[in-house]
Amino acid sequence: KNEVEQSPQNLTAQEGEFITINCSYSVGISALHWLQQHPGGGIVSLFMLSSGKKKHGRLIATINIQEKHSSLHITASHPRDSAVYICALYSGGGADGLTFGKGTHLIIQP
Amino acid sequence: DSGVTQTPKHLITATGQRVTLRCSPRSGDLSVYWYQQSLDQGLQFLIQYYNGEERAKGNILERFSAQQFPDLHSELNLSSLELGDSALYFCASSASGDTGELFFGEGSRLTVL
């Protein structure tokens, strides 16, 4: 079973700060998802990565397959970025669904 | 708007009862996934259907069952409900059988009293 560790569990920062959220896992994967969940409960998929780096607006996600580690970065953070960020692993093969991290609670203060 | 529709949004019922949650996937998506999110367990994968067939199974209890219909909508049936079944139930869809980009519904919040 793949173990997923997210850090930090909670993060409070000031508007404009550069934010990094980390995700480490124990077993090789086919893909990793970063998800965002706002206080209302809805979940939005931000990225799906199998290698390298992806960028969308102020969000950047990277993955290092050899080190079994991924990071989500937020540049020029804004209060609307306040949410829970969850990494989820897909091991591949079609037999299993996603394995989820416990999430990082991010609060951006104005 | 993800294009995935879940009903009902909220549901309150009593222990021992049975409920059905419904999910309509994004147009053209063949895969439907069901997830449970509870305060103590976090998000857990329950089950996946692809084009009408069960494709992957996760931590789904025997009291729970699901199916995907020919029009690709899916239903999750929860029976003999217990207090611990209170949770948010999410449906997601994707175009392929292997997990590609996922599109989540807004969730169905189930409260068992």
pLDDT one-digit tens code per residue, A5-30: 999 999 999 999 999 999 999 988 88
pLDDT one-digit tens code per residue, B78-102: 999 999 999 999 999 998 777 678 9
Pick B42's closest partner by Cβ from A92, A96, A102: A102
Unique residue bearing structure tokens 């700060």? A17
Helix, strand, coil content of chain B in percent (nearest 5): 5, 55, 45
Residues B6, B107 contacting (CB under 8 angstroms): yes
pLDDT one-digit tens code per residue, A39-96: 877 899 999 999 999 999 999 999 999 999 999 999 999 999 999 999 999 877 655 6
Q: For residue B112, which of B80, B76, B85, B78 has the smallest C-alpha distance?
A: B85
pLDDT mean over B59-82: 96
What is the 8-class DSSP label of residue A29? -
Residue of A9, A29, A36, A45 to mutate, testing the B interface (most B Cβ within 10 Å of its Cβ): A45
pLDDT one-digit tens code per residue, B27-54: 999 999 999 999 888 899 999 999 999 9
- Spell out the SS3 assignment of B37-48: EECCCEEEEEEE
